[in-house]
Structure 1
């Protein structure tokens, strides 16, 4: 099983407990299969992904996900598959990402899960 990290930039990286429910243009995909498919496209691939937080929390991540639907918090973020310090770890860039209004939908099921939406997804090489 691949371990993932959320990178908000400027050294603000947090280990994630899980990455699931990747939806790209209304199609749910397995994140690991997506990563292996190298799906960079000439058109924006918008969607969302459900992230589950791990035990160690970065304060910047907490502040960012609590600003649900705040247009001022839209930013590019990176999901890192594997060790963030290793140069060969695959990186999934989520363009113009934000904490979605669906952030609280799974709160009763899993209070550590939050949904982020994005306007495009690419895999850095």
Structure 2
């Protein structure tokens, strides 16, 4: 099982307990299948993904998550498969991402889970 980290830039990374429900243009995919594919299309592949936070939390991630639904907080977010310090670790760039109100904290069975919506996605190897 791959360990994923959320990278918000400037050395602000957080280990994730899980990455699930990756949806691209209304089609659900497995995150590992996304890493194996080439999701860099000539048109934006918008979508969402559900991230579940682990025990150690970064303050920048907490602030970003709590600003739910605020599309002015859009920024590129990167899901790193493996060690974030290793430049060879595959990365999934979520372009213009923001936390989504459709699946957030106490609104579901898992209070540590939140959804991230994004305008486009790119796999970086």
TM category (shorter chain) comes to over 0.9
In structure 1, runs of 5+ residues without a counterpart are none
What does residue range 1-125 of structure 1 map to in structure 2 within 5 Å?
1-104=1-104, 107-125=107-125
Are the equivalent residues in 2 in contact too, given 1:79–1:93 (CA < 8 A)?
A: yes
Deviating more after overlay: 6-15 vs 106-115 = 106-115
CA RMSD of aligned residues (A): 1.2
Q: CA deviation at 1:106?
A: 6.2
With normalisation by structure 1, the TM-score equals: 0.95
Deviation at 1:107, TM superposition (A): 3.6
SS of the equivalent of 1:43 reads coil
Structure 2's unaligned 5+ residue stretches are: none
Give a deviation string over 1:15-65, Cα, whole Å, max 9, x none: 000000000000000110111112211110000000000010001100001
C-alpha contact 1:68 1:103 (8 A) present in aligned 2 = no
- SS of aligned partner of 1:5: strand
Instruction: Please tell me whether the aligned partners of residues 76 and 94 of structure 2 are also in contact (alpha carbons under 8 angstroms).
Output: yes
Cα distance in 2 between the residues matched to 1:104 and 1:15: 18
Q: State how far apart, in whole Å, the 2-side matches of 1:112 and 1:11 are.
A: 22
Structure 1 stretches of at least 4 aligned residues deviating more than 3 Å after TM superposition: 105-108
Residue-pair matches, total: 125
Q: More displaced, 65-74 or 88-97?
A: 65-74
When structure 1 is superposed on structure 2, of 31-40 and 96-105 the one drifting more is 96-105
TM score, norm. by length of structure 2: 0.95
- Partner of 1:102: helix, strand, or coil? strand
